[in-house]
Amino acid sequence: MIKVGIVGGTGYTGVELLRLLATHPQVQLTAITSRKEDGLPVADMYPSLRGRVDIAFSAPDKAKLNECDVVFFATPHGVAMAQAPELLAAGVKLIDLAADFRLQDVSQFEKWYGMPHSCPQILEQAVYGLPELNRAAIKSAQVIGNPGCYPTTMQLGFYPLLKAGVVDTANLIADCKSGVSGAGRKAEIGILFSEASDNFKAYGVSGHRHTPETVAQLQRMTSEKVGLLFTPHLAPMIRGMHSTLYARLSQDIGNAELQALFEDAYRDEPFVDVLPFGSHPETRSTRASNMLRLALHRPDNGNTVIVLVVQDNLVKGSSGQAVQCMNLMFGLDETTGLMQVPVLP
């Protein structure tokens, strides 16, 4: 059994990890930290876990994280890198759901997250945790930087096009929408029910921290310079993400050939579903699952290809992807504990 610790188990990504790991056949939940909720049974905070999770939250100084095989950090940026050296010295593997180990460029991290990186030497060995594109490296990793939710949709949506070299990489556009849970579990005016419900808005238009992360990974797919316009939006739903991606074709290619690029790229991927050409994937088709679905369009058979991508921002966009990485790191089938059918309606 894999002994698992979770740092920061009270937020949405934390409880999503608990939901997935509680029924994982190879996991023993060993420690869940929360300074404020020390001693509180997890199921008292999250009744959905009654009968599934029988341990209590522990203050960080009481939790025996050093005795775990792997520790997930479902915490704000900066927490994982502060604890990483001690845990790695004890032989513990780390999976960070925040941004501490996503950006290899320290200056970019410090620019976008407003804090110094405390362990750049560990950052150098960290592996970006997108299994579909980085599976081999994940298997041997000690530290995983779990991708952001928006970047997951953009990378998997653009990858076959960039790999084949059939689009203008300098002018990629991503128009993305996320449910309110993406903002985290906190008391903030902009995400109150009466503020977010029956409303729709863009944010981070002049610059968003997921842009440098996405560009850095897209650049690995092509020798051409990547330029990306990314605009995120807040949608009036709890969970779900829909990304509409635009790319201008640079080659004469048929629709069947475009479809084949995606089907060939993801034919053996258990969590990427390529729908028939011209389909319209819905966020509810992935709710509470680790599945990402996408579909291609080409208006008027012109020179623009549109990729529609949907996922659950808390599962494939965060906690589910982290569990997928854990499975790979410990030699398990990566689908273990992640084959839940999406919830509908």
Same domain (yes/no): 100, 189? no
Contact 80, 123 (CB under 8 A): no
The pTM for the full model equals 0.96
157 — alpha (psi -120 to 50), left (phi > 0) or beta? alpha
Same domain (yes/no): 289, 206? yes
pLDDT averaged over 10-residue windows placed end to end, the chain, 345 residues: 95 95 97 92 95 94 94 95 96 97 95 94 96 98 98 98 98 97 84 89 94 97 98 96 98 97 98 98 98 98 98 98 98 98 94
Same domain (yes/no): 309, 168? yes
Q: Does 219 fall in a domain?
A: yes
Q: Does 50 fall in a domain?
A: yes
How many separate domains does the chain show?
2
Reference 148, options 213, 212, 84; nearest CA is 213
Q: Does 138 fall in a domain?
A: no
- What is the SS3 assignment for the chain? CEEEEEECCCCHHHHHHHHHHCCCCCEEEEEEECCCCCCCEHHHHCHHHCCCCCCECECCCCCCHHHCCEEEECCCCCHHHHHHHHHHHCCCEEEECCCCCCCCCHHHHHHHHCCCCCCHHHHCCCEECCHHHHHHHHHCCCEEECCCHHHHHHHHHHHHHHHHCCECHHHEEEEEEECHHHHCCCCCHHHCHHHHCCCCEECCCCCCCHHHHHHHHHHCCCCCCCCEEEEEEECCCCCCEEEEEEEEECCCCCHHHHHHHHHHHHCCCCCEEECCCCCCCCHHHCCCCCCEEEEEECHHHCCEEEEEEEECCCHHHHHHHHHHHHHHHCCCCCCCCCCCCCCCC
CATH at 168: 3.30.360.10
CATH at 48: 3.40.50.720
Domain extent, residue 24, equals 2-125
Q: Does 224 fall in a domain?
A: yes
Same domain (yes/no): 70, 9? yes
Active site residues per annotation? 149
Query: What's the pLDDT at 189?
Result: 86
Same domain (yes/no): 16, 112? yes
Contact 183, 191 (CB under 8 A): yes
Torsions phi, psi of 312, nearest 5?
A: -85, 120
Query: What's the pLDDT at 145?
Result: 98
**Distance between CA atoms of 261 and 7, rounded to whole angstroms?**
40
